[in-house]
Amino acid sequence: MLRTWRWLGLLLASLVGLVQGHQTIVLSTSEGSPIQDISAEVLSEAYQRLGYALSVRRVPNVRSLWLANSGKVDGEVSRIAGMEQEHDQLIRVPVAVNTIEVAAFSINGAPEIQRWEDLAGLQLVCVKGSRVVEKHLAEHKLPCQAVTHFSQSIRMLQKGRVQVAVIPKVNGLAAIKSLGARGIAVSDRILAREPLYHYLHRKHAAVVPRLSEVLQAMVQSGRIEEIHRAYLERLREQ
């Protein structure tokens, strides 16, 4: 009888492990944002190493944070540091999964933008919820017309409704390519560069230490940088 119970215990443990191994982590992120697609690729591999599947819901930028903080999803793909101070139900995984670079997009022939001060007095467009952009615009007291999608900012630039689009460089280049937009230049100088971190809802706090170890190993092996380069190469080839 003892052997039978021991066998049943082992069977139950294996079944629990099997279920956990197929558990799906659902994350939200901003729609139409290639920089977040890169982060999602990194996280998909990291979670796979832990035995989880990853599902990503792409929604408007501001709604994404609300979904994550309210627990409607398990977390947010990636954001700059500090989101946990504004959204107290989120925990920041301490290893950066990506880097965001902000650039200025303008019509060919316009004066080159080298720094934030060069944007003073110009008509600007940005994307609502892009926190790194909003932070620097606020610091330099620069007003900006906010839209929902990165493609909208490029269209407004094309139509002459604004003079400069201040958006993440990868997202801007992808929007130009998908729209077939011509005559738009991107500044050589990066206006801001910040690491992006993954956030989990507090109900998944136990996952954070193990996920951090996996991500740190991916950093040290160069795997995260490899994923980033491969994505950019695919973007150029499309």
Q: How far is CA 94 from the centre of its chain?
A: 15
DSSP lists the bridge partners of residue 101 as 193
Q: Give the pLDDT band of residue 11 (cuts 50, 70, 90).
A: very low
Q: Which domains does the chain have, with CATH numbers?
A: 19-98+195-237 (3.40.190.10), 100-193 (3.40.190.10)
The beta-carbon contacts of 223-226 under 8 Å, at least 24 apart in sequence, are 223/45, 224/42, 224/97, 224/98
Q: Give the pLDDT band of residue 93 (cuts 50, 70, 90).
A: very high
Residue-by-residue DSSP string for 178-228: HHT--SEEE-SS-SEEEEEEEEEEGGGGGGHHHHHHHHHHHHHHTHHHHHH
- 12 pLDDT more than 60: no
pLDDT tens for residues 188-235? 899 999 999 999 999 999 999 999 999 999 999 999 999 999 988 887
Q: What is the pLDDT of residue 233?
A: 85
Residue-by-residue DSSP string for 148-188: SSHHHHHHHHHTTS-SEEEEEHHHHHHHHHHHT--SEEE-S
pLDDT tens for residues 149-197? 899 999 999 999 999 999 999 999 999 999 999 999 999 899 999 999 9
Residues contacting 33, CB < 8 A, separation 6+: 58, 61, 150, 168, 171
- Render the burial of 183-221: b for 16+ CB within 10 Å, e for the rest: ebebbeeebbebebbbbbbeeeeebbeebeebbeebeee
CA distances from 193 to 24, 138, 169, 196 (A): 32, 16, 10, 10
pLDDT tens for residues 104-140? 999 988 888 999 999 999 999 999 988 899 999 999 9
- 14 pLDDT more than 60: no
Structural contact between residues 187 and 101, judged by C-beta atoms closer than 8 angstroms: no
Question: If you compute the radius of gyration of the chain from its CA atoms, what whole number of angstroms results?
Answer: 21
Least confident interval from 5-14, 55-64, 180-189:
5-14
